[in-house]
Structure 1
Amino acid sequence: MTNQIFDDYFLKQNQLMNEKFQIWLEHSLFSWQWWFGLILLVISIIFWIKFRKKDSTNRLLYSGFFVAIVASFLDLIGTSLGLFHYHYEIFPFAANYLPWSIIMLPISIMIFLQIKPKANPFFKAAIYSAVASFIVLPFLNFIEIYHPIRWNYFYSFPILVTLYLITHFLVRRNNFEKII
């Protein structure tokens, strides 16, 4: 009996994914918001390639992957709990907005880590988080990509401060051993 419950749930979820895909095809794909996200994705990657500290690439990528994983996980939790959702996804099967959680958030943190690397990390975390929480997210809401339902921009601030500080800690580690 329990297996039937899971099977029924899977069928409902699959039907909803098919419906979401159709909505994406008809209303999202090639809309100006879709193009905006795609261009943002490409420009962010090009910007990072051009302006990263070349000798710190691996260390920065390590921290960027951490940010991408955590941000994607948090987006999954937030969308699953109905706290917020995204429209005009680049890829229809993602629960998160890829240009934001997989590209922009990690790249912006990696770039910010490079700027004034000796500055107080708490101060930098506060500035970064304020810009992301109170400027970027409201802008994404304004252009109808991000839709907070039971979420306030203030909630994002301490999460982003914490994420920035952990990333700062990770990027400063010197205890990687060589694999022989």
Structure 2
Amino acid sequence: MENDKKIKIVGDIYEKVHHANNEYLDYWIENTFLHWDFWLSLALTLLPWILFIQFRKKESTNRLLFVGLFVIIFASWLDFLGVVCGLWYYTGKVVPTIPSYMPWDFCILPVFVMFLIQYKPDMKAYWKGLFFASVGSFIGEPLFKWLGFYVAIHWNKFYSFPIYFLLFMVCHRLSKVKHFEPIK
């Protein structure tokens, strides 16, 4: 059932992607690795988790990490789609092989959500969601754009607002899960 023509075409496309990745790796080693943008991105990768370890509510660690993992999966998947679709791209990356910006998707966003969930837990979730969406869309994205880490091509920060709001609301709901059924 193998289609030789299809295998050849997909193989040719893969070779182009592989070549582009190697070209970017060479560029990254020369122009990013151990430069100021690399060090700042590395700090933005480590600092949120250091703060989380220091200031989390220890009795809620598992619940918070469950929510944080959801943020990482959701944000990195959407970020990957945005990069692949040509909506934006990143410079100054810590790791050149991941198409998304690791400090934002794997560190800043999940830790920010986890801190908001643990801070004033009785506060209305939509207020926190509006705050999260506002900071992410109107402070975070423009700041990273100003730093030169984020280049929006076909994207506007106003598009991000409802996505960040929805992300927080889903995370808030996940944080309220009482228990999981045992595996039988």
Do both share a fold (TM > 0.5)?
yes
TM-score range, shorter chain: over 0.9
Opposite residue 148 of structure 2, the aligned amino acid is E
Matched residue type, 2:28: W
**Secondary structure of residue in 2 paired with 1:151:** coil
Q: Where do residues 49-68 of structure 1 align in structure 2 (5 Å cutoff)?
A: 49-68=53-72
The percent of aligned pairs where both chains have the same amino acid is 37
Match for residue 114 of structure 1 among 111, 118, 123: 118
Aligned twin of 2:44: 40
Q: In 2, distance between residues paired with 1:115 and 1:45?
A: 16
User: 2:147 maps to what in 1?
Assistant: 143
**For the residues of structure 2 that align with 1:93 and 1:42, how far apart are their CA atoms?**
18
Pick which of 47-56 and 170-179 moved more: 170-179
Q: For residue 165 of structure 1, what is the aligned residue in structure 2?
A: 169
Distance in 1 separating the partners of 2:45 and 2:87 = 24
TM-score, scaled relative to structure 2: 0.95
> RMSD value over aligned CA atoms?
1.0
- Measured in 1, the distance between the counterparts of 2:63 and 2:116 equals 14
Query: 2:90 — aligned with what?
Result: 86
Q: Match of 1:28?
A: 32
> What letter matches 1:87 in structure 2?
T
In 2, Cα distance between equivalents of 1:58 and 1:115: 16
Letter aligned with residue 106 of structure 2: I
Alignment of 1:12 with 2:16, yes or no, is yes
> Structure 1, unaligned stretches of length 5 or more?
none
Structure 1 runs of 4+ with >4 Å offset: none
Unaligned runs of 5+ in 2: none
Per the TM alignment, residue 33 of structure 1 is displaced from its structure 2 partner at its CA by 1.1
